Amino acid sequence: MPLRLELDRVTAGYGKVEILHDLSISVPAGAVVALLGPNGAGKTTTLRAISGTLPVWRGRVRLDGERVNGTSTYAIARAGVTLMPEGRGVFPSLSVRENLAIAARATPGDSDQRAGRIDFALTQFPRLKERFQQQAGTLSGGEQQMLALSRALMAEPKVLLLDEISMGLAPRIVEQLFGIVAGLRADGLTIVLVEQYLTYALQLADVCYLMAKGRVAFVGEPAELADSEVLTSSYLGVG
Ligand SMILES: Nc1ncnc2c1ncn2[C@@H]1O[C@H](COP(=O)(O)OP(=O)(O)O)[C@@H](O)[C@H]1O
Ligand SMILES: [Mg+2]
């Protein structure tokens, strides 16, 4: 498989504090790559560096072999990288319909094509269709994540970056969300998944990177990682 996304010795941080140190990650086209590791390991920072919301100090981020770091966040998004950030990526005071319309507005094509994308999103997430006129802030946590995910998908990304989509949700809802992600994987979407729920991450991922202190502590297939001592030694109290 050709590499869809590649981080080549990426260094980045906040202010003068270096957080990611020479980080290299390879994401084959169509693969799900999980970034795992304890709080503060640098997982969110890695997704920010990929999406351009945080500048890369040294090294390269390449999409389909082309360097994208150093261009704008907008250019990276247009090139096909979509970040679903930590927390709920919705406008709480706006309706489901308005939330989808705003996401559609950022996509190419005419108004018919945009309306078509909204329709398609609703067929994938029937729950949102039932709540079309409801304020997004009054949806359940799981429904808000579905809305955020449908907003992210509207960009028809080449690479979807998911940052702890299970955060704060009941296990039953998490299971549903991961069912949706599994469907996206089956459709061939390339996904970088940051996840605390190891069970789901290990089930879905083709490759796992275990991060610690801004570096890769381990890389391998889920089974190798599950067998490895490095997992238990680097995690505290994660089930
Ligand atoms: N906006 C920020 N400003 C300064 N430091 C930050 C900021 N965001 C994260 N950090 C620091 O960067 C390190 C990595 O954080 P983060 O990437 O959020 O880790 P993870 O997502 O793996 O929990 C932590 O030490 C954290 O305190
Ligand atoms: Mg994080």
DSSP 60-96: EEEETTEE-TTS-HHHHHHHTEEEE-SS--S-TTSBH
Say which residues have a Cβ less than 8 Å from residue 71's Cβ, sequence separation at least 6.
52, 79
Instruction: Count Cβ atoms within 10 A of the Cβ of residue 103 and give its class: 0-12 exposed, 13-18 middle, 19 or more buried.
Output: buried
Kindly report the backbone phi and psi dihedral angles of residue 26, in degrees, each rounded to the nearest multiple of 5, phi listed first. Answer: -115, 130
**Radius of gyration (C-alpha) of the chain in whole angstroms:** 18
Q: Which residues contact 186 (CB under 8 A, 6 or more apart)?
A: none
Question: From ligand 2's centre to the CA of 21, what distance in Å?
Answer: 17
How confident is the model at residue 122, as a pLDDT?
A: 87
Residue 113 to residue 135: CA distance in whole angstroms: 24
Residues of the chain with pLDDT under 70: 233-239
Q: Which domains does the chain have, with CATH numbers?
A: 3-89+158-234 (3.40.50.300)
Residue 149 has a pLDDT of 93
- Residue 165 alpha carbon to ligand 1 centre in Å: 17
CA dist list (Å): 105 to 82, 100, 108, 114, 124: 15, 9, 8, 7, 19
**Whether residue 150 has its Cβ less than 6 Å from ligand 1:** no
Segment holding 185, helix H or strand E: helix 171-186
Beta 58-63 vs 81-84: how paired, if at all? unpaired
Residue 35, ligand 1, Cβ within 6 A: no
Ligand 1 centre distance from Cα of residue 108 (Å): 33
Establish whether residue 44 lines the binding site of ligand 1, counting it when its CB lies within 6 angstroms of any ligand atom.
Answer: yes
Pocket test for ligand 1, best of 7, 44, 164 (most atoms within 8 A of CB): 44
pLDDT at residue 239 in the model? 40
What is the pLDDT, as a whole number, of residue 238? 46
The rounded distance, in Å, linking the Cα atoms of 133 and 146 is: 15
| pTM score, whole prediction | 0.93
Provide the pLDDT for residue 235: 64
Burial category of 59 from C-beta neighbours within 10 Å (exposed 0-12, middle 13-18, buried 19 and up): middle
